[in-house]
Amino acid sequence: MKKFSHTDDQGKAKMVDVGNKTNQLRIAKAQGHIKLSKKTIDLIRENNMKKGDVLTVAEIAGIQGGKKTSELIPLCHPLQITKIDVSAKLTDDGVEVKSEARCVGKTGIEMEALTAVNIALLTVYDMCKAVDKEMVISKISLIKKTKTDLD
């Protein structure tokens, strides 16, 4: 059996050991989009969706999702997150979501930024599914990730 860096000698999955790495300021930014019908966009704009304020709920859900990343993705390290910001805005053809996640730690925070975007988009989907059967979630990507040594 082929051995991968995330498996032990018996081929069992394992978490990567980051214990010897130094703490760094880590920042990741992600984005994604959900395509909506004009009717759905108008309902969101006018705050007439039955489930409430779609953009605000999506932003809050994205923050919650980012915070729960290590519980959702099996080999993801739990991190001491210092910031997760999620913004959802209407576009001509749907909703664009962007996130920024920060931590001081030994491993990256890109999964938290990506999870925040995904959960925000899924929340838009959930809140709009009664009126829009043609929604498409797409263009989810990591925009940027950085790590900076601490003095």
Q: What average pLDDT does this structure show over 132-142?
A: 98
Q: What is the topology classification, in CATH, of domain 24-149?
A: Alpha-Beta Plaits (3.30.70)
> Is 17 one of the catalytic residues?
no
> What pLDDT, on the 0 to 100 scale, is given for residue 13?
81
Q: What average pLDDT does this structure show over 52-72?
A: 98
> What pLDDT, on the 0 to 100 scale, is given for residue 124?
98
Catalytic site residue from 42, 92, 126, 132: 126
> What whole-number distance in Å separates Cα of residue 83 and Cα of residue 105?
13
pTM given for the model: 0.92
Which residue ranges make up each domain of the chain? 24-149
> What pLDDT, on the 0 to 100 scale, is given for residue 14?
81
Nearest one of 105, 126, 124, 102 to 113, comparing CA atoms: 102
Contact (Cβ atoms closer than 8 angstroms) between residue 73 and residue 115: yes
> What whole-number distance in Å separates Cα of residue 121 and Cα of residue 32?
7
What would the pLDDT profile of 83-110 be if each residue is shown by its tens digit? 999 999 999 999 999 999 999 999 999 9
Nearest one of 79, 87, 75 to 7, comparing CA atoms: 75
Going by the DSSP 8-state scheme, the letter that residue 135 receives in this structure is -
Please state, for a pLDDT cut of 90, what percent of the chain lies above it.
86
